[in-house]
Chains A and B, each alone.
Chain A
Amino acid sequence: MRRRVMLAGTISAILAPALSGCGALDPGDDDPETLVFHHSLTAGSASFAVYDAVRAEFERENPGARVKDLVSGGTDLINVYETARLAGKEADVVLVNLAEKSLSWTDYDATVPVGGYLERWGLRDRVLPQALPEWTDAEGRLVGFPWSGFSWPVAFNTRLLEAAGVSGVPRTAAQLVDAADRVRARGARGLVSIGGNDWSGQKLLMQIMQAHLPPERARRLFAEAGFASDAQALRGLEHFVELRDAGVFFDGAQGINADSMNSDFYTGQAAVVSMISGSLASVPPEVADVVELGGWPVPAGGVYDKPTALRGYTSAGLWISPNGEEKIDLVERFIRHLYREATAQRFVREAGEVLALRGPAESPDFPLVAAAVNLPESAVSYAVLPDLHVPPAVSQPLIRATSLAFTPGRDAQSIAADLDTAYRS
């Protein structure tokens, strides 16, 4: 009996820490021929299918080398990476966007500057010149290898607009309000479906506010707040309130999220959406056939004389961790492989990705993505994307304030005060 008790005690004493040690779940790997790649590509997506094939190709071409995937969803990836970094067990290469917390990774030595590697490996010429400044921090360090970007136009379902008697896509605020009246007269819930309760609404609010806000001033306000005391920001917000109160947005927009917005457009219920290229890739063909892309209509006397859109190259970059730097030869081979023209072309053609690399931008199977990337500058002006300027800690409170902005009855001054409060939350 005593031996049995001793045995049970010993086994439990050994098993408890062993089971909690999570050896198999360790995100890092010390094997010099195993590269741990942390990303958020989910199985089943077109991007993952291409990546999977590219990884297999890399392993075939580099006998002995192995790529171990570590997949975390969206915003979780940042926290997972940071906690692993604290333990010195972070992945070698991370594919993630440049926004919020990742903006400070280089400062905190969570990742290493890659400008030297870009030059040494001769990859500078592969990157679109406009992408490099976005990935260069205030101290002139290139924080990651630019990988993918986005175009963020406004998508118009011309069939729905024509059915409501709207000829041509609206280009001015007055035309937008007129179109809203017409589609509502036919029983629609509004003209523009928008995720007023999440990031999609926050981007559109900031974009509309910029109708009366010069780019330099917009950058300063996004970084430091002060909306309530800025006459031009208030004028932009008053314009937003006019559109909201004229019924431009879907009823209950303050409670809609981006998924619902996409669903409204994919199922032909929404005539207009402000949609990022990644979501345009999923528009069903029968809807895509009748979609025309453009910019957000602007008011008379505003800062921009053409409808506005957003674009950027910060969707994802390849960051190298301190662990990755210790096996830099393997990292170099991997990044070179991803940066190959043939590899990039597969991501563009087969997954509808918008890459920050030179090469063909044609995606025959994703016509709307190709159209979004190739929107002529003669048709749209590009407003300032807030992401690179809004402090990391403010992003979420700002999204919560956005929901209040889409709530009927809230005036421009209150919205500005809500935005300022978000910077103090």
Chain B
Amino acid sequence: MTHDTSLLPARAGTGASGPRPPRTARRGSSVTLLAVPALVWYVLFTIGPLAAMFYISGVSWPGMLAPRSWAGWGNFRTVLSDPLFWDAARISAVQLAVVLPVMITLAFLLGYYLTLRPRGHRVLRVVLFTPALISASAKAMIAYSVLAPDGLFNGMLASGGLGSQTRAWLADTDTALACVMAIDLWNGIGFTAVLLAARLGNVPGEVYEAAELDGAGHWRRLWRIAFPVTRDYVGVVTMLQFLWIFFGSAQNVLLLTQGGPGNATTNLSFLVYNKAFVQSDLGYSQAAGVLLFLAGLLGMLAIRRVLRQNY
């Protein structure tokens, strides 16, 4: 059974001063009036671009200034028969399969640890949140200075007697993608942990105390109490990170590797950007964008299904 909470204020109002439908209607229209700019904005700048993406995916458009012609399903056929698209899809899948579970699990553990208020937990929160306060280009500069051939990481390896292990981390086909994923993780774990800690902090302490009396240790409290109680919220955070990795990680790729070496770090979101703004193939780009959109939608539904509240 579900409760329709939207009815509660109306009932409260009825009990307090009797039925006053005209005033409620006036208030409703006022609220609607206030929402009009936001709705117009939403339609213009969210629904509009989405419709444009579907339209452009059906045209042949070799550059923003070039004339365009209707291509039907031609762009989709090109995209689906392009080995580069499938390579990019594989890279995106690897990114998601590695980064998302690692990030959410570690962030959840860290978030739980923060709720225990260990010594210095306030400083720890700030430290964990720091990557979110650094601009993307500054983060890329940091990553480059660490991972460049003459960078900090190779310097540490060399001074630790591991000089033979040094390499051009961002320009090696064996390590470039791993570096991008590591940066995604560094970027997201702390921020996600702070978000999760905010929710975990609201779990009633009595529940933990009761579990402790029953002999449950931290590990069991974490996975048998904290996780089930916050499962819905973990789902939301997972969706947000899924969207960022799937749609937004072109940013790190662009700043650090430009999709290279070769195409070793060209994921789907970078492919969409690169085809549109660098290679001037807008039809291909938006056809890939539509496929990305549909895959994103399916991914969100899957996450929602797996992590929905089940009590």
Interface residues of A (CB under 8 A from B): 2, 5-6, 8-9, 12-13, 16, 79, 82-83, 85-86, 101, 104-105, 108-110, 189, 196-197, 250-256, 260, 392-393, 395-397, 399-401, 403-404, 406-407, 418, 421, 425
Q: Which listed residue, A16, A82, A403, A421, touches B260 by the CB 8 Å rule?
A: A403
Q: Are B148 and A256 in touch, CB under 8 angstroms? A: yes
- From B63-71, B103-111, B211-219, B239-247, give the one contacting chain A: B63-71
B41 interface residue (CB < 8 Å to A): yes
- A362–B238 CA distance with the chains assembled, in angstroms: 62
A197-B171 contact in complex given A5-B33, A396-B274, A399-B258, C-beta closer than 8 Å: yes
Contacting pair B37 A407 (CB below 8 A): no
Bound-state CA distance A2–B34 (Å) is 11
Q: Is the CB of B260 within 8 A of A399?
A: yes
Q: Which residue of B is nearest A105, CB measured?
A: B65
- B199 in the interface (beta carbon within 8 A): no
CA distance A253 to B167 in the complex (A): 10
Q: Is the CB of B262 within 8 A of A400?
A: yes
| Total A-B Cβ pairs within 8 A | 120
> Which B residues are CB-close (under 8 A) to A189?
150
With known contacts A9-B37, A16-B37, A407-B261, A252–B278 Cβ distance under 8 A: no
Q: List 29 A-B contacts (CB under 8 A).
A: A2-B30, A5-B33, A9-B34, A9-B36, A12-B37, A16-B37, A79-B277, A104-B65, A105-B65, A108-B65, A109-B65, A196-B171, A197-B168, A251-B149, A252-B149, A252-B154, A255-B168, A255-B172, A256-B149, A396-B278, A397-B263, A399-B260, A400-B262, A403-B262, A404-B261, A407-B168, A407-B171, A407-B173, A421-B262
Closest-CB distance, B40 to chain A (whole angstroms): 8
> Distance (Å) between the CB of A111 and the closest chain B CB?
10
Partner pick for B171 among A83, A255, A395, CB 8 A cutoff: A255
Given A254-B168, A255-B149, A403-B261, also A393-B37 (CB < 8 A): no
Whether B65 and A400, one on each chain, are in contact in the complex, defined by CB atoms closer than 8 angstroms, is: no
Question: Beyond A252-B149, A425-B263, is A396–B34 a contact (Cβ under 8 Å)?
Answer: no
The answer to whether A396 touches B258, judged by C-beta atoms less than 8 angstroms apart, is: yes
Closest to B31 in A: A5
B residues near A109, Cβ cutoff 8 Å:
65
| Contact A407:B172 (CB < 8 A) given known A2-B30, A9-B34, A9-B36 | yes
Q: CB-CB < 8 A to A393: which residues of B?
A: 278-281
Known: A108-B63, A400-B258, A425-B279. 14 other contacts (CB 8 A): A6-B33, A9-B37, A83-B64, A189-B150, A252-B167, A252-B168, A255-B168, A396-B274, A396-B279, A400-B259, A400-B261, A404-B260, A406-B171, A407-B261
